Amino acid sequence: MELNRKLILADGSEYLGTGFGGSKTVVCEIVFNTSMAGYQEIVSDPSYTDQAIVMSYPLIGNYGVADEDFESRMISPSAFIVRDINDNPSNFRSAKTLPELLEENGIPGICGVDTRKLVRSIRDNGSGRCIITDEDMSAEEGLKIIEETPIPHDAVKRCSCSKKWYSRTSNPLFNVVAIDCGMKSNIVRMLNRSRCNVTIVPYDTDWEEILSLHPDGVFISNGPGDPCDVPEVIETLKNLRGKIPMFGICLGHQLLSLSYGAKTYKLKFGHRGGNHPVRDVRSGKIEITSQNHSYAVEEESLKGTGLKVSHINVLDNTVEGIYSDEDKVFSVQYHPESAPGPQDSGYLFSRFTDLMKRG
C-alpha cells in the first residue's frame, strides 16, 4: 500500500500510513479507544467531536456498517487511525464499508500505522493535539499549523439538537426531559424501554422552560469537550436541583457535579473503551463499563456540596458516580446504555424510574 498520509503529534513525532475515507487536512486532539468491537457506534458518538481516534484493536471494519447501529446522525470524529482496515466485510447486515462511511462524511482515516507504539505514546505523554495531512508535509510545518490553530470551545453547541423533539413509547409511566449535549441514540431507547416518554431539548434550554413541560424527571446527556465550556447547562441544573429527580451520564455527570460547586479536571489520556472496571462503593460490586471521556470530577471538591461518591474507577481511583438522596439526583461517568456492550450497568435506568415514582 502507498504511504500517502502522515500523522504529526505535538511532540514532533511522525507516523506514516495509507489514507482511506476523506482526504482533508485536520488539526485536533488525539485519543485512543481500547474497544474490540463497536467501531460504528464509536464514529457516530458525538462525544468524539474534534478528536482523532486511535483504535488499539488491530483489525477494524470487518463487519461493515449497519443502518440500525448508528448512535447519532453525526459522524463525529475529526479522524480515524487504525492498524488494518477491512474494506471487504462479511456480515449479512452490512450496508456499506467503514471506509465508504468515512469518505461520504469527509472524515480522513489512516491505516498501516503502528498503533501499539502510538497508544503507548498517548498513554505515556498524554492526549495532545495532532495534525493529519499529506506525507510531504514536514514536522516543522505541521507543528506550526497545530500551534496556530485555535482550540474550539463550541463542540456541545455543534452537537446538540436545534429544537426540541419527542420519542414516545407504548404504555408510558413517566415523562422525561432530556438535555441534549450530544446524546447517543441508545440512551433514548433505554429510557423508552423504561416506559418513559422523552422530550429532547437543546443544551441551552432554560430551567423554566424545562419545568413548563411538566416532566417527572430530567436527564442530562453525554457530550464532547470541557464541561466548563457549557455554563448554560450548569446554570440550568443549579435552578433545577431539589425540584425534580435528575440523572446524568458522562458529560451530564460532570455538569451536574459542577452545578453543586464541585470541580473537574482533565485526565492525562482519558478513559475510552468497553472494558473499564468500576466499583459500587455501597455494595462493593464491580461493574465492567463502557467509557468515553477526557475529564473527571475532583473528589476533594465534593466536600460540602451535599453530593456523595457512589462509584470509583478500580484502575485509577477516579470518581465514577455521585448522588444526593435528599435532592433525588445521581450521575455516572460511564455509559450504562453502552452499545454494543457491556450490559452490567443497565440497572441505573431502573434507579431513575424508582426516583420518579417517589416524586
Which residues are catalytic, by number? 250, 335, 337
Copy the grid coordinates of residue 143.
507543528
According to DSSP, residue 340 is labeled S
Candidates 113, 87, 94; CA nearest to 30 is 113
Spell out the residues 6+ positions from residue 203 whose beta carbon is closer than 8 angstroms to its own.
156, 157, 160, 179, 180, 181, 223, 230, 232, 233
For 236, left (φ over 0), alpha (ψ -120 to 50), or beta? alpha
Per-residue burial over 66-80, b if 16 or more Cβ lie within 10 Å, else e, is eeebbbbebbbbbbb
The residues with which 85 forms a beta bridge, in sequence order, are 60
Copy the grid coordinates of residue 287.
461493574
Candidates 323, 299, 45, 84; CA nearest to 185 is 45
Residue carrying C-alpha cell 449479512: 92
Task: Note whether 178 and 199 are within 8 A (CB).
Answer: yes
Torsion of CA 159, 164, 168, 172, to 10 degrees: 110
CA distance 293 to 49: 11
Torsion of CA 19, 21, 22, 26, to 10 degrees: -60
